[in-house]
Amino acid sequence: MNMPNKFVENMADTDRQKLLENNQTSDNFRLRNRSHAILLSFQKHSIDEIAAICGVHRNTVSRWIDWWNEEGATALNDAPKTGRTPILTLEEQARAVELGLQNPRFPHRELAEIKRQTGKQISSYTLTRLLKKKITSGKESV
């Protein structure tokens, strides 16, 4: 069955260079994949070929091409992710880590002290996560 195709309409030399750079050096896999797809589309590869090369559905490739044709290179970047704001400020997190390291066998005491000092209650999981983050960041800097 012959599927309709669409291609990247126009591309400036600076855009092409930016796409090549993204495709070759970006740490973000999704950005590399999208950049590669746009370059292939500009070379008049079919959507089905691009989808097979990039390992995505043809509708995804079609959406990337639409984004490119409407907004250009900025459309290929990931949108900012939303998430819950941290319960503790950075200073409070540092204090919680200090308290957590004082007596790690009795985390309920540290949790009670954190609540007393900050007025904010955190779970033992949150305290554990903060401690692990501190420990791993300390090893990386050594």
What confidence tens digit (pLDDT) does each residue in 15-63 have?
999 999 999 999 999 999 999 999 999 999 999 999 999 999 999 999 9
Query: Would residue 81 count as lying in a domain?
Result: no
Q: Is the pLDDT of residue 142 over 50?
A: no
Q: Is the pLDDT of residue 81 over 60?
A: yes
The answer to whether residues 47 and 5 touch, using CB atoms and an 8 Å cutoff, is: yes
Query: Would residue 48 count as lying in a domain?
Result: yes
What is the model's pLDDT at position 40?
Answer: 94
Residue partners of 96: CB distance under 8 A and separation at least 6: 88, 110, 114, 118, 122, 127, 130
Q: How many CB atoms lie within 10 A of CB 65?
A: 22
Query: Would residue 8 count as lying in a domain?
Result: no
In a shared domain, residues 69 and 23:
yes
What is the model's pLDDT at position 57?
Answer: 95
The mean per-residue pLDDT over the stretch 63-88 comes to: 88
What is the model's pLDDT at position 18?
Answer: 92
Cα dihedral 137→125→106→131 (10° resolution): 10
Task: Look over the chain and give the mean of its residue pLDDT values, rounded to a whole number.
Answer: 88
In a shared domain, residues 67 and 102:
no
Q: How far from chain centre, in Å, is Cα 78?
A: 7
Alpha carbon distance 17, 72 (integer Å): 13
Domain around 18:
13-76
Query: Would residue 2 count as lying in a domain?
Result: no
What is the model's pLDDT at position 39?
Answer: 94
Alpha carbon distance 76, 61 (integer Å): 11
Alpha carbon distance 48, 37 (integer Å): 11
Banded model confidence at residue 141, pLDDT cuts 50, 70, 90: very low
Residue partners of 100: CB distance under 8 A and separation at least 6: 107, 110, 127, 130, 131
